[in-house]
Structure 1
Amino acid sequence: MPGTLTQPQFDALIALLRADAALTQRQIQESTGMSLGSVNAAVRECEAAGYIAGRELTASGRAALEPYRVDNAIILAAGLSSRFAPISYERPKGTLKVRGEVLVERQIRQLHEAGITDITIVVGYKKEYFFSLAERYGARIVVNKEYATRNNNASLWLVKDDLANTYICSSDDYFTINPFESHVYQAYYSATYIAGPTREWCLTTGAGGRITGATVGGADAWTMLGHAYFDRAFSATFRTILESVYDLPETAPKLWESIYLDHIKSLDMVIRKYPDGVIHEFDSIDELRSFDPAFMENIDSEVFENISAALGCERGRIGAFYPLKQGITNLSCHFSVGEDEYVYRHPGAGTNQLIDRRAEIEALRLAGELGLDSTFLAGDPEQGWKISRYVPDCRNLDVSNPDELERAMRMGRALHESGRELARNFDFVTEGLRYESILASRGPIDIPGYDELRAKVLRLKEFADADGFDLAPSHNDFFPLNFLVDASGELSLIDWEYAGMSDVAADFGTMVVCAQLGAERAEDALGYYFGRPPTPAERRHFWSYVTFAGWCWYVWSLVKEAEGDDVGEWFLIYYRHAVDYVDALLASYVSGTDLTDAPAALSARRGA
């Protein structure tokens, strides 16, 4: 703790400071909640020290309180708030208006009411929504560029030198009673009691309310909820610890609270208990709506406008939100209208530059007409959103199941033979060369064997193009994770973002590479596709597209690695499919011989 006062002495002096007038011991007791005996003892001690005279606070008393004065507040506002989908797709949770007030602004005003005007807001995701707070409230804005790759320890790292007597707040908390004070005795974490089982962080405490540990989940417990307060001693120790662990790989995903708990014996912090209903953290839209029934009707949200218009329902009937997937390409969440369940897909930032949404919607409509995808309901090619039917208790395609693999390959054949045309064209080698140009823009491609492999792939492509196979509507992301198998066994082929006019062998190539089908299983798939054994020309042509698919995604992996992303084991998987078949296929084309025993011939690539 920053000063030398005891807790009762501090409480007595604070009561006089806030009253700014003389108080009797009885009035101090009513203000602090201490026993009358403790009040009388504290007052006598403070009078002896010269802090109180004539039942009023003296100049010495005010000076004794200065070490406990709050210096500043840090508001953490960088996170994605993924559990708050789909609203978090549009704006940070802290900028939502609840009961007529924007969450972060209400909190800033409460800090101001306590005399705390030195406020720093650490932002990241959709940071621009917070910029105006600097002008309107005099807040300082700090940008956390690592908000998507590190947990909130990265935000505290950026302001570690500002930690003193400091409130640590979350931008999306709502306090029904202002919890902030101008002076605080010691470091604490706010807590609320939860009766029954909970998945929140449950605290254990020792003498004087000192926090001794926490477990994720428990029952009938005081849980970490709301803000925290660092005193100067806590801040100094925490800063040293943070500096010692920050660069460790295991630190990146940790909350700052986890770092605190890892070093709890060195960090003195007490529990501060709040009555039920004072602190609110909203983990979902449904939870917020129960607190503010008018929220759904008042929120300015294109997501809810899209859902309401597409399904012809009132906003108030939309509920049961929870996230399903969040990544670079798309953000998806579950929702329901009455008893019906749906998925809302929101495009990730910048994906309109990568994905032709108009071509995607065109392909989705075709898939629906052909009975290949029973999930698609509505979408907008300009904005990129999509609404699909939610399939409960579903799983992905099992390629080890001959019946399922056969049905999947026949779905691909039905698409190719539909006689329809899509506006977009997609070719693996063309895409691979585009990725190559991106890679080359960073400098020479100095990778052993790259040029030799490239030359083989381009030569094989010349042979394959001369085969004269048709272009047809193709999925181009044709592999198990994009097949949903419902409880009755029905298959739906989803995610048509890369669909376009492609060589009829392209989907087979994708399936072999991405499902990692061995040569024998791949031959089975080829037979299922044709409904008969393939001709030698068909076999050689379709296997060439395994090489093209592998090479395309291998070059893509090179680009991603150059950009600092880790593609993981898929890097090698793509590479192996590019190199393992190319020599046997070229030899077959050059010599005019057949790959009659395809599994044996193609296995020979590894010297098997």
Structure 2
Amino acid sequence: MNICELNIIKELFENSYTNQRILSKNTKYSLGVVNKSLKNLFEYEFISKNNSLTLKAKSEIEKNRPKNAIILAAGLGFRMVPINFETPKAMIEVKGEILIERIIRQLREVGVEKIYVLTGYMKEKFEYLIDKFNVELVYNREYFEKNNIFSLKLVADKLDNSYIVPSDIWCKDNPFSKVEMYSWYMVSDNLSKKSEVRVNRKNELVRVGFDDAGNDMLGISYLLSKDCDYVREKIKNLCKYEKNNSLFWEKSLFSNKKMIVHSKLVNSKDAVEINTYEQLRELDNNSNNLDTKQIKIISNTLSIDSSKIKNISVLKKGMTNRSFLFEVDRQKYIMRVPGNGTKELINRKEELDVYSKIKEKGISDDIIYINAENGYKITKYIDNARCCDKDNKDDLKRCMKFLKIFHDMNLKVEHTFDIFKSIDFYETLRNGQKSVYKDYDSTKEKVKLLKNYIENSEKRFCLCHIDANCDNFLFDKNDKIYLIDWEYSAMQDPHLDIAMFCIYSLYDKKQIDDLIDIYFENNCKTEDRIKIYAYISACGLLWSNWCEYKFQLGIEFGEYSVKQYHYAKEYFNIVNSYGVL
């Protein structure tokens, strides 16, 4: 049977027809197509002479009936800033109804009782669904660094006449049905260059050409059991390779240049993917989720109505903070929102003191608002800026010269950054849980041996950045340099900033020595070089502990974390090789 015939069977099941013209109107097929399909269905013994469904047709309907649904709700929803700081996308309110609750109710309306909800970010927010809707929650531990194909992998064995539903789609009418005759994937009639597929004349979903527009991909899908087998095997193979960590689950639907399923084409007004604050505001400007703490701060600080806040977008996945970009009256701003667990790590009053010291020095970005209680900060956006390229020698020369000028200002504050106390402090934040590194205790004992050497080395103390990594050096469109993000800044040895730049950049020893030579203009004393090596070892252990604490909060830094621990061990051995301990 073809798609037309399958759709007519579905229509005949849901409504009794003797009038072909009404059937033509409701299916949107021409009268000629309807008459030909009815004739074929009669010959196949799926309908009787009066267009009633036969037992054979009813058996086919029963075989293809939906058995379960999988709701994908693990992602962080970065584009939903600032709402996603407090609420996962699945839990946003649209027209007085929680989005995921609406999806679950729509599924239940068509008889789907078994529902799996894939969680990750803010997983605790979903717990109430167990009692309220009797759903099964499945936690994806890799939600931060991997895309939703890895969520679907966790329940791939459950795929069997299944709906797959993203949790950020609002459908005006119920998109699900008691009768599903074939596998499909939902797309909208809106065209976008972000889409991978377009609907062709055969109702197939084929890949679009390079730079061509396709139909918006909405993510809702229905898979018959026979197609589930293909998807299950495809997911298994795709998830073997680290290069596929960022893949969407839809990749498993492709075979060569088209999807294995048919299209379900809907009007763009009837099914809306809610990815951003402004998309939610456009769909429902009365949603309670629009009135976030961050939006209130922006409105009050700039003395504007929230409707004037536009073009909100995530800026970067910060290691300590979450930042987003927004625009008011064509002026761009950045709002910093402290990340999870940040209050344990950062003294915001000390940060405010630092900003007061550097305010008139022309070395940092323009602060519009900063709150020493909660760490919220608003700065003017530096347009057309770029970060320092850690592999570009000219950039490094300019940044090290800038850093040295800052150090030579000899600015003073009341607080100090103590490396070894910080190592112990970050360790205590693990709440007694052992390090993931089996030789951590012996490594720490070795690193502690560096303390006396560092303290007895010749040095001067001044205000240092502490987090002077390549991403915090910005070049504006006029090539002026700014050093941003001063929250760790404190009194310390300026040479510590060099070490921090190196380990954040994941430099090898040659690159480290090259950077030291740049800062010192090829005139670095041996004892200063050894001291910087010691800082690299100590700070490697410090940031390794920091990463382990963040990991307990569900934030994974991958290679960066492991490399910091390697620095602790490797550069202790390098310092020790000089016979100075």
Match for 2:404: what amino acid?
A: M
Q: Residues of 1 paired with 2:118 and 2:209: CA distance?
A: 26
Q: Tell me, what secondary structure is at the counterpart of 2:195?
A: strand
> For the structure 1 residues 100 and 453, does the alpha-carbon distance in structure 2 shift closer, same or farther, using more than 3 Å as the test?
closer
> For the structure 1 residues 457 and 220, does the alpha-carbon distance in structure 2 shift closer, same or farther, using more than 3 Å as the test?
closer
> For the structure 1 residues 177 and 384, does the alpha-carbon distance in structure 2 shift closer, same or farther, using more than 3 Å as the test?
same
Q: Residues of 1 paired with 2:315 and 2:209: CA distance?
A: 22
- Corresponding residue for residue 580 of structure 2: 586
- Corresponding residue for residue 516 of structure 2: 522
Q: Residues of 1 paired with 2:155 and 2:512: CA distance?
A: 53
- Corresponding residue for residue 231 of structure 1: 224
Larger Rg: 1
Alignment partner of 1:25 is 2:20: yes
Q: TM-score, structure 2 length as denominator?
A: 0.83
Shift of 1:341: 1.2
Shift of 1:320: 1.2
Listed one character per residue, the Cα deviations across residues 464-501 of structure 1 (whole Å, up to 9, x for unaligned) are: 2xx5x564433212344322232334433211222223
Q: Residues of 2 paired with 1:123 and 1:513: CA distance?
A: 34
Q: Residues of 2 paired with 1:477 and 1:311: CA distance?
A: 29
Q: Tell me, what secondary structure is at the counterpart of 2:350?
A: helix
Listed one character per residue, the Cα deviations across residues 156-183 of structure 1 (whole Å, up to 9, x for unaligned) are: 1222232122221111112233322211
Q: Tell me, what secondary structure is at the counterpart of 1:228?
A: strand
Alignment partner of 1:71 is 2:71: no
Shift of 1:391: 0.7
Alignment partner of 1:132 is 2:128: yes
Q: Tell me, what secondary structure is at the counterpart of 2:104?
A: helix
Q: Which moved more, 1:307-316 or 1:134-143?
A: 134-143
Q: Residues of 2 paired with 1:167 and 1:436: CA distance?
A: 45
Listed one character per residue, the Cα deviations across residues 11-55 of structure 1 (whole Å, up to 9, x for unaligned) are: 344333323x55333333333233434444554565673744755
Listed one character per residue, the Cα deviations across residues 399-451 of structure 1 (whole Å, up to 9, x for unaligned) are: 6465653332121222xx334323xx312344456678879944996499958
Match for 2:540: what amino acid?
A: Y
- Corresponding residue for residue 532 of structure 2: 546
Alignment partner of 1:411 is 2:406: yes
Match for 1:309: what amino acid?
A: N
Alignment partner of 1:116 is 2:108: no
8 Å contact kept, 2:171–2:270: yes
Q: TM-score, structure 1 length as denominator?
A: 0.79
Match for 2:519: what amino acid?
A: A
- Corresponding residue for residue 499 of structure 1: 489
Shift of 1:230: 0.5
Q: Residues of 1 paired with 2:31 and 2:498: CA distance?
A: 83
Q: Tell me, what secondary structure is at the counterpart of 2:316?
A: strand
8 Å contact kept, 2:168–2:275: no
Q: Residues of 2 paired with 1:111 and 1:79: CA distance?
A: 21
Match for 1:249: what amino acid?
A: E
- Corresponding residue for residue 468 of structure 2: 478
In structure 2, runs of 5+ residues without a counterpart are none
> For the structure 1 residues 421 and 399, does the alpha-carbon distance in structure 2 shift closer, same or farther, using more than 3 Å as the test?
farther
8 Å contact kept, 2:188–2:216: yes
Query: How high is the sequence identity, in percent, across the aligned residues?
Result: 24
- Corresponding residue for residue 555 of structure 1: 541
> For the structure 1 residues 159 and 216, does the alpha-carbon distance in structure 2 shift closer, same or farther, using more than 3 Å as the test?
farther
> For the structure 1 residues 491 and 29, does the alpha-carbon distance in structure 2 shift closer, same or farther, using more than 3 Å as the test?
closer
> For the structure 1 residues 522 and 163, does the alpha-carbon distance in structure 2 shift closer, same or farther, using more than 3 Å as the test?
closer
Q: Tell me, what secondary structure is at the counterpart of 1:219?
A: coil
Q: Residues of 2 paired with 1:111 and 1:180: CA distance?
A: 6
Alignment partner of 1:308 is 2:303: no
Q: Residues of 1 paired with 2:211 and 2:230: CA distance?
A: 29
Q: Tell me, what secondary structure is at the counterpart of 1:15?
A: helix
Match for 1:336: what amino acid?
A: E
Describe how 1:142-157 pairs up with structure 2 within 5 A: 142-157=138-153
> For the structure 1 residues 511 and 79, does the alpha-carbon distance in structure 2 shift closer, same or farther, using more than 3 Å as the test?
closer
Shift of 1:315: 0.8
Q: Tell me, what secondary structure is at the counterpart of 2:250?
A: helix
8 Å contact kept, 1:421–1:472: no
Q: Residues of 2 paired with 1:557 and 1:471: CA distance?
A: 22
Given candidates 393, 400, 415, the residue that maps to 2:384 is 393
8 Å contact kept, 2:169–2:218: no
Q: Aligned Cα RMSD in Å?
A: 3.9
Describe how 1:215-226 pairs up with structure 2 within 5 A: 215=208, 218-226=211-219
> For the structure 1 residues 189 and 217, does the alpha-carbon distance in structure 2 shift closer, same or farther, using more than 3 Å as the test?
farther
Q: Residues of 1 paired with 2:437 and 2:278: CA distance?
A: 53
In structure 1, runs of 5+ residues without a counterpart are 588-608
8 Å contact kept, 1:375–1:492: no
Q: Residues of 2 paired with 1:475 and 1:500: CA distance?
A: 7
> For the structure 1 residues 362 and 561, does the alpha-carbon distance in structure 2 shift closer, same or farther, using more than 3 Å as the test?
closer
